[in-house]
């Protein structure tokens, strides 16, 4: 669907191009863009922190409350179920009322419930609070990715997604090192891990002050004047930095659309491909990161050796995202992801078959880097492929489906290990990595350096080839 002539006239005049055309012609990241990156990176860090909080606290929680392995598994699973609903609800609500509103509201939501988790008194309370924390957290993360894609010019979207994710990935070693210090102190010290998860609310003041509403959302929803004021400021910053603005090229603008449009043939293909990619991502990424400590200990490594090795692997998170920065806007994202996942698959196989500790650490570190680099590509591609009126819902369903697969995916590794052994686990993970890249090559479409509005309208984007 495209906007009718009267709606187009509201955002464009003969002497003044539309906000969307003006945004895509900005050739540099302005001071505002860089501020947005740091604020969003800070908020994204809490997605990574929260995904790890219970894993680090679980042994102490289990001992203090005398919980079974099954109960621990249920608490883990309910968090992913909350993320599934949060991704879909947050995405759709952001399509209706705005990206900024949902982003800020979900920060308050997940922070309150993460802090409340620190006061949980039994497994039932913990499950309810983990569900609600996951709901708010994934609503925030999904909309954050959409916001990033909509607020940066087409030639810069990828690298600033990667930079933002790199900043966020710093949260992984932060929570790992913090938990290593406080959890062994015993008693109720594990509760401080969840307090860390609630500190995202500290970024709320900066986010409210620095983040305007999405330019693309405003144009599609009838607020072109407000979007134009944001563009005036961005263009002034770009010119002050010495940039020359090219002649604007008007994109094809999408009109507000009902949710059913997401299930029409072209959008359905996009939905299926991104859902499959997100499922493979969760199966591979969390299958590796969640199970490596347990599998190493079970295969003869000491607990201290394993903690040292996994701490080293956690340091690969941010460098992996930063590795994508010089590549992500230069190459077709589909083929770039395929190449990254081939390398990741090879490294996962090496990790599963070697016995030398040094080779194990090196291959694991490099595999983690490649997987994180792939996350940067996927998180950039995911919101790009949907039209603006359905971007929040489409990427929310895809992302949420991936998170939901984590409920089963975390147990699949256990089944493979018990039935076939250590090396079979990493053969399985390598296969999911290869499938991740293959799906996007076969079913995806080109989004690199293409206007988001042209991708959504099916203009210059080319399906699959």
Q: What whole-number percentage of the chain has pLDDT above 90? A: 35
Reported pTM = 0.81
Is residue 463 domain-resident? no
Lowest mean pLDDT among 145-154, 257-266, 267-276: 257-266
Gap between the Cα atoms of 12 and 21, Å rounded: 10
Is residue 465 domain-resident? no
Is residue 76 domain-resident? yes
Identify the CA nearest to 399 among candidates 77, 86, 44, 136.
86
Q: Note the pLDDT tens digit of each residue in 189-242.
A: 888 988 888 888 888 889 999 999 999 899 888 888 898 999 999 999 999 999
Q: Which sign does the torsion angle of CA 144, 464, 22, 217 carry?
A: negative
Whether 199 and 111 have beta carbons less than 8 Å apart is answered as: yes
Is residue 82 domain-resident? yes
Is residue 107 domain-resident? yes
| Residue 16: pLDDT over 60 | yes
How many domains would you assign to the chain? Answer: 1
Q: Which H, E and C letters describe 38-77, residue by residue?
A: HHHHHHHHHHHHHHHHHHHHHHHHHHHHCCCHHHHHHHHH
| pLDDT (0 to 100) of residue 461 | 44
| pLDDT (0 to 100) of residue 163 | 92
Alpha helices of 261-302 — where are they, by DSSP H? Answer: 265-298
Q: Note the pLDDT tens digit of each residue in 82-121.
A: 888 998 999 889 988 999 999 999 999 999 999 999 999 9
Mean pLDDT, residues 277-299 taken together = 82
- Domain range holding 93? 5-457
| pLDDT (0 to 100) of residue 2 | 40
| Confidence class for position 400, pLDDT limits 50, 70, 90 | confident
Identify the CA nearest to 390 among candidates 296, 459, 453, 340.
453
- If one compares 308 and 219, the residue with the highest pLDDT of the two is 219
Give the chain's mean pLDDT. 85
Token pair 């002649």 in the structure block, residue = 247
| Confidence class for position 6, pLDDT limits 50, 70, 90 | very low
Our CA dihedral for 397, 399, 401, 406, rounded to 10 degrees, sits at: -160
| Confidence class for position 4, pLDDT limits 50, 70, 90 | very low
CB within 8 Å of 283: residues ≥ 6 apart: 405, 406, 409, 412, 429, 432
The domain that contains 437 carries what CATH number?
Answer: 1.20.1250.20
- The encoded tokens of residue 268 equal 């359905």
Is residue 409 domain-resident? yes
- HSE value, Cβ hemisphere, 13 Å, CA-based, for 270: 30
User: 417-422 long-range CB contacts below 8 Å, 24 or more apart?
Assistant: 417/291, 417/295, 422/295, 422/299, 422/352
Is residue 464 domain-resident? no
Is residue 462 domain-resident? no
Gap between the Cα atoms of 269 and 121, Å rounded: 46
* Other CB atoms within 10 A of residue 358 CB: 8
| Confidence class for position 365, pLDDT limits 50, 70, 90 | very high
């Amino acid at each position: 669907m495209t906007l009718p002539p009267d709606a187009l006239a509201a955002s464009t005049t003969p002497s003044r191009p539309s906000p969307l055309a003006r945004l895509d012609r900005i050739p540099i990241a302005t001071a505002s863009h860089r501020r947005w990156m740091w604020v969003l990176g800070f908020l994204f860090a809490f997605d990574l922190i929260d995904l790890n909080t219970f894993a680090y606290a679980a042994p102490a929680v289990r001992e203090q409350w005398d919980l079974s392995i099954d109960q621990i598994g249920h608490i883990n699973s309910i968090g992913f179920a909350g993320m599934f609903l949060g991704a879909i609800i947050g995405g759709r609500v952001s399509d209706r009322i705005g990206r900024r509103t949902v982003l800020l509201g979900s920060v308050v939501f997940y922070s309150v419930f993460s802090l409340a988790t620190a006061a949980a008194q039994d497994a039932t309370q913990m499950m309810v609070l983990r569900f609600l924390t996951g709901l708010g957290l994934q609503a925030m993360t999904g909309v954050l990715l959409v916001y990033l894609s909509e607020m940066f010019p087409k030639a810069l979207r990828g690298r600033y997604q990667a930079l933002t994710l790199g900043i966020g990935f710093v949260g992984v070693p932060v929570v790992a090192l913090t938990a290593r210090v406080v959890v062994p102190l015993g008693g109720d010290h594990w509760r401080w891990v969840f307090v860390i998860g609630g500190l995202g609310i500290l970024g709320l003041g900066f986010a409210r002050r620095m983040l305007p509403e999405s330019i693309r959302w405003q144009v599609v929803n009838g607020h072109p004047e407000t979007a134009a004021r944001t563009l005036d400021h961005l263009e002034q910053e770009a010119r002050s930095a010495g940039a020359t603005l090219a002649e604007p090229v008007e994109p094809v603008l999408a009109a507000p659309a009902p949710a059913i449009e997401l299930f029409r043939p072209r959008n359905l293909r996009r939905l299926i491909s991104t859902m499959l990619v997100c499922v493979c991502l969760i199966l591979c990424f969390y299958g590796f990161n969640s199970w490596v400590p347990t599998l190493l200990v079970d295969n003869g490594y000491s607990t201290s050796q394993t903690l040292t090795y996994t701490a080293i692997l956690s340091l690969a998170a941010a460098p992996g995202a930063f590795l994508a920065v010089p590549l992500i806007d230069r190459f077709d994202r589909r083929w770039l992801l395929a190449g990254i996942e081939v390398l990741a698959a090879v490294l996962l196989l090496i990790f599963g078959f070697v016995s030398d500790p040094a080779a194990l650490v090196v291959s694991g570190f490099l595999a983690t880097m490649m997987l994180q680099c792939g996350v940067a590509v996927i998180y950039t591609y995911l919101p790009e492929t949907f039209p603006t009126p359905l971007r929040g819902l489409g990427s929310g369903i895809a992302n949420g489906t991936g998170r939901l697969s984590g409920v089963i995916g975390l147990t699949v590794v256990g089944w493979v290990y018990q039935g076939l052994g250590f090396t079979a686990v990493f053969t399985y993970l390598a296969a999911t990595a290869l499938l991740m890249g293959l799906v996007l090559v076969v079913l995806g479409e080109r989004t690199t350096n293409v206007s988001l509005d042209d991708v959504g309208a099916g203009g210059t984007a080319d399906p699959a080839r």
